[in-house]
Amino acid sequence: MESDNKRIYLSAPHMTGNEQKYINSSFESNWIAPLGPNVDRFEKEISQYVGANGALAVSSGTAAIHLALRLLDVKAGDKVFCSTLTFVASVNPILYQQAVPVFIDSEFDTWNMSPLALKKAFMDAEKEGNLPKAVIVVHLYGQSAKMDEIIEICTFYQVPIIEDAAESLGSTYMGRKSGTIGKFGVYSFNGNKIITTSGGGMLVSNDHEALVKGKFLATQARDISPYYQHSELGYNYRMSNILAGIGIAQLAEIEGRVSQKQAIFQRYVRELGHIKEFVFMPEYQGTRHNRWLTAFFIDSVQPMFTPLELIQELENENIEARPVWKPMHLQPLLKEYRFYPHSIHLNVADCLFQKGVCLPSGTNMTEEEQARVIQTIQSFVSRKRKQRFIAT
Ligand SMILES: *Cc1c(COP(=O)(O)O)cnc(C)c1O
């Protein structure tokens, strides 16, 4: 039956039903573009929700990272340290500025930036007399990095932090919202994120002046003048009033979405946790993990199967699963840049990439659909166990 085999996505957009109301209000007032009351309200509500002084709504998370780099005066030839285990959007804005990324490995407690590797990179940079202008810390799949340790190092060298919280809206670190701990925080409302505006992003900060400057840069950097006059390079990066309307309705549901994501994760653990090779991504002490995606890695010296084989098996059942992000230092685009491993003997990001799997985690996935995912994995694992048993 076709309906039995409906595609299950990794994390599909999940509308609340209230989005249309805000879109209609834009039409009725003809606030179609640019900006307008929905944008103002969305910014205010995001900053209230995360506890930041201010927020700037932009066209994507990538644009927000780019603005943060501009606001920190990152220029051609400047160094920027960045988590290696991430999506390329964390890094591309560094290249837009013709700056030089240096990639920092992960550690196993959070899968995020290793304070050990970060410290090593700083010590080398200091020796070379060339400290980075900024550090971009990613909170992968919704798990916060070890911010206390990272802040201690960055404070010592007086280098500001940009938190790439594109995947971690709703997560917390020691009671504070992810994205509000560094100098700047970045969220994404791309289609597969925990809430979506179909496409969009947000820059948050406690530095009001920086956000005013960010708004100026995001609207083509128009001087205060009766003409269209420009003294600086700007961008067309603002969010449209229609999309901000979607965001308002989505944000109202964020706490519910986090609970739903956590429930999806807990069910995977309940029903697959007995498979001894599966190590699920931890929730680090003192943090709340929004479980944007449920992720685990296959921990075995001689694994029964590879992540790609499992992902293919799921694909055969019309289920979308993915490997863990391919680290940036392994990307053909970025292979010329430096990389600092967790330790001489241990390269954590490569290990997570080679062994890791992300499972469907959409909040509109039904219980039956999740059962289908679990069933497919269980029968694949027992088939592989049998084959292994017969072969040995
Ligand atoms: C999605 C994502 C981004 C980029 O956000 P866009 O809105 O798609 O530009 C940046 N960093 C990470 C880690 C992401 O997952």
Instruction: pLDDT tens for the chain, 392 residues: list them.
Output: 445 689 999 999 999 999 999 989 888 888 776 678 999 999 999 999 999 999 999 999 999 999 999 999 999 999 999 999 999 999 999 999 999 999 999 999 999 999 999 999 999 999 999 999 999 999 999 999 999 999 999 999 999 999 999 999 999 999 999 999 999 999 999 999 999 999 999 999 999 999 999 999 999 999 999 999 999 999 999 999 999 999 999 999 999 999 999 999 999 999 999 999 999 999 999 999 999 999 999 998 889 999 999 999 999 999 999 999 999 999 999 999 999 999 999 999 999 999 999 999 999 999 999 999 999 999 999 999 999 888 87
The amino acid at 303: P
**Cα dihedral 373, 379, 384, 385 in deg (nearest 10):** 120
* 78 touches ligand 1 (CB under 6 Å): no
* 87 touches ligand 1 (CB under 6 Å): yes
Phi, psi of 344 (to 5 degrees): -60, -35
C-beta of residue 142 within 8 angstroms of C-beta of residue 171 = yes
What the block records as the tokens of 382 is 């027992």
What is the DSSP pairing of strand 134-138 with strand 79-83? parallel
Phi, psi of 3 (to 5 degrees): -65, -25
Cα separations in angstroms, 359 against 90, 289, 297, 320, 324: 22, 16, 11, 8, 10
* Nearest-atom index, ligand 1, CA of 89: 10
Sheet holding 176-177, edge to edge: 176-177, 172-173, 287-288
Handedness of CA 68, 72, 78, 81 (dihedral sign): negative
* 141 touches ligand 1 (CB under 6 Å): no
Paired residues of 346 in beta bridges: 343
Within 8 A by CB and 6+ apart from 281, the residues are 111, 141, 143, 289, 294, 295, 296
Three state DSSP letters for 258-309: HHHHHHHHHHHHHHHCCCCCEEECCCCCCEECCCCCEEEEECCCCCCCCHHH
What the block records as the tokens of 42 is 């969305």
- Name the residue of 88, 90, 184 whose CB sits within 8 Å of the most ligand 1 atoms, as the mutation to test its pocket: 90
* Nearest-angstrom CA–CA distance, 255 and 47: 15
* 242 touches ligand 1 (CB under 6 Å): no
What is the Cα 79 distance to its own chain's centre?
22
- Could you tell me where the DSSP H helices lie in the chain? 19-29, 37-50, 61-71, 92-96, 115-127, 147-157, 208-218, 241-251, 254-272, 307-316, 348-355, 367-391
Measured by CA distance, the residue closest to atom 14 of ligand 1 is 166
* 168 touches ligand 1 (CB under 6 Å): no
Residue 28 pLDDT:
86
* Nearest-angstrom CA–CA distance, 157 and 183: 14
* 26 touches ligand 1 (CB under 6 Å): no
* Nearest-angstrom CA–CA distance, 221 and 272: 53
* 171 touches ligand 1 (CB under 6 Å): no
* 106 touches ligand 1 (CB under 6 Å): no
Residue 89 alpha carbon to ligand 1 centre in Å: 5
DSSP summary character for residue 334: G
- Name the residue of 58, 66, 87, 140 whose CB sits within 8 Å of the most ligand 1 atoms, as the mutation to test its pocket: 87
Sheet holding 322-323, edge to edge: 278-280, 294-298, 356-359, 322-323
Phi, psi of 253 (to 5 degrees): -100, 5
* Nearest-angstrom CA–CA distance, 212 and 216: 6
Closest to 144 measured CA to CA, from 121, 170, 119, 120 = 170
Residue 301 pLDDT:
87
- Name the residue of 140, 163, 188, 196 whose CB sits within 8 Å of the most ligand 1 atoms, as the mutation to test its pocket: 188
DSSP summary character for residue 193: S
Residue 64 alpha carbon to ligand 1 centre in Å: 10
What the block records as the tokens of 223 is 């001087």
Q: Set out the domains of the chain in order of their start, with CATH numbers.
A: 19-251 (3.40.640.10), 254-391 (3.90.1150.10)
Residue 392 pLDDT:
77
Residue 388 pLDDT:
85
The amino acid at 59: S
Work out the burial of residue 112: count CB atoms within 10 Å of its CB; fewer than 13 is exposed, 13-18 middle, 19 or more buried. Answer: buried
* Nearest-atom index, ligand 1, CA of 139: 13
